[in-house]
Amino acid sequence: MNSIPNAQPMANTFFPLFLFFLLFHFPSLSPAKLQLNFYSNSCPQAEAIVRSVMHKAFIREPRSVASVMRFQFHDCFVNGCDASMLLDDTPTMLGEKLSLANINSLRSYEVVDEVKETLEKVCPGIVSCADIIIMASRDAVFLTGGPDWPVELGRLDSLTASQEDSDQIMPSPRANATSLIDLFSKYNLSVKDLVALSGSHSIGKGRCFSIMFRLYNQSGTGRPDPAIEPRFREELFKRCPHGVDENVTLNLDSTPYVFDNQYFKDLVGGRGLLNSDETLYTFGETRKYVRFFSKNQSAFFDAFVEGMSKMGDLQSGRPGEVRRNCRVVNGQSVII
């Protein structure tokens, strides 16, 4: 089981404390044990319900499943997979929704709400929001033509969230390969995991906002990133001219509704949208994986599933609960 940086494996280092928590059933101070088929007795329809709501969302708005899939990354990297990123701000807590990486960017929270409402009707208080994110991300990949895989479940939802932690941890679209390798290694995710997981950008969109510096002032040079293929660069200039509404969106790869290895082919061709994408091809240590995945889709799918499973194991070891509403901690009134 992985634990996330900064979190102390308390229960293992101080045995009497561990016993105390065991005896008094203190909620999950030692990380919850994740299992396959975790809800097979308590809510046997859980996985089918998540998939069916995701399927409906996909029909209604194809991009929304990509938007939900992104939640797994933004949840698991910030204090473990605990649905902290779903909490709304309160008068006493600045949550993660308005953090640098998430503001005006994360979207489709309402799809998770719909999953949760459906589950609460069938098995109230049983399925955590953190597990919903993991199931829904898997389903998003499957529904767009990618692999399907079994997920371990049994996570609890956090009692708090931290805008500051999200600001400090989540990488910028300007990031270079060295800093991404470094960040992922803090979670025991390998260079291969980094490249495979970046393949999630096979689906979905990004904003002009995320590439303006790359188009007009890469590394303060006043010039575009030379790694952008010239015809693609002209297209990007047209879509994101100076003064454009920076919320205008562009495809992350040339097949944004299909989960495939086209993303890697695009990187090889200099047609990656984000600097953090193209840098994986420019940089030697990551380039070999980009090439490999661009030539072998099933190798990409295998590595992607492995990366998602490892990322899904990240836990903070902090106490938790099963939230009834993914946006608020239980027992707190919803403030309108």
Ligand X SMILES: *[C@@H]1O[C@H](CO)[C@@H](O)[C@H](O)[C@H]1NC(C)=O
* Numbered residues of the known binding site for Ca(2+): 75, 78, 80, 82, 84, 96, 253, 255, 260
Q: Which stretch binds ligand HEM (CB under 6 A): 24-32, 54-62, 201-209, 292-300?
A: 201-209
Distance CA 311, CA 188 (A): 9
Choose among ligand HEM, ligand X, none what residue 40 binds, the Cβ cut-off being 5 to 8 Å by kind.
none
Decide if 74 is catalytic: yes
Q: Is 278 helix (H, G, I), strand (E, B) or coil?
A: helix
Of 201 and 271, which has the nearer Cβ to ligand HEM? 201
Of 292 and 324, which has the nearer Cβ to ligand X? 292
Choose among ligand X, ligand HEM, none what residue 302 binds, the Cβ cut-off being 5 to 8 Å by kind.
ligand X
Judged by CB under 6 A, does residue 201 bind ligand HEM?
yes
Residues 48-87 touching ligand HEM, rule: CB under 6 A, are 63, 66-67, 69-70, 72-73
Of 46 and 228, which has the nearer Cβ to ligand X? 228
Smallest gap from Cβ 250 to ligand HEM, in A, equals 9
Residues 86-125 touching ligand HEM, rule: CB under 6 A, are 105, 107
For ligand HEM (CB under 6 A), the number of binding residues is 27
Choose among ligand HEM, ligand X, none what residue 127 binds, the Cβ cut-off being 5 to 8 Å by kind.
none
Of 37 and 178, which has the nearer Cβ to ligand X? 178
Contact 55, 292 (CB under 8 A): no
Non-local (6+) Cβ contacts of 181 within 8 A are 191, 194, 285, 286
Contact 2, 314 (CB under 8 A): yes
Smallest gap from Cβ 225 to ligand HEM, in A, equals 15
Distance CA 176, CA 105 (A): 20
Q: Is 282 helix (H, G, I), strand (E, B) or coil?
A: helix
Percentages (nearest 5) of helix, strand, coil residues in the chain: 50, 5, 45
Of 68 and 159, which has the nearer Cβ to ligand HEM? 68
Q: Which stretch binds ligand HEM (CB under 6 A): 80-88, 90-98, 159-167, 200-208?
A: 200-208
Per CB under 6 A, residues contacting ligand X are 2-5, 104, 176, 178-179, 187-188, 209, 217, 220, 222, 245-247, 296, 298-299, 302
Non-local (6+) Cβ contacts of 72 within 8 A are 81, 133, 134, 137, 308, 311, 312
Residue 47: closest CA among 180, 201, 150, 181:
150
Choose among ligand HEM, ligand X, none what residue 188 binds, the Cβ cut-off being 5 to 8 Å by kind.
ligand X
Q: Which residues pair with 3 in a beta bridge?
A: 315
* Cβ count near 69 (within 10 Å): 26
Could you give the angle at which helices 284-295 and 191-198 cross, rounded to 10 degrees? 50
Q: Which residue has the tokens 């709400």?
A: 113
* Cβ count near 6 (within 10 Å): 9
Contact 140, 200 (CB under 8 A): no
Catalytic residues: 74
Which residues of the shown chain bind ligand HEM in the complex (CB under 6 A)? 63, 66-67, 69-70, 72-73, 105, 107, 171, 173, 175, 180, 197-198, 200-201, 203-207, 209-210, 252, 274, 276
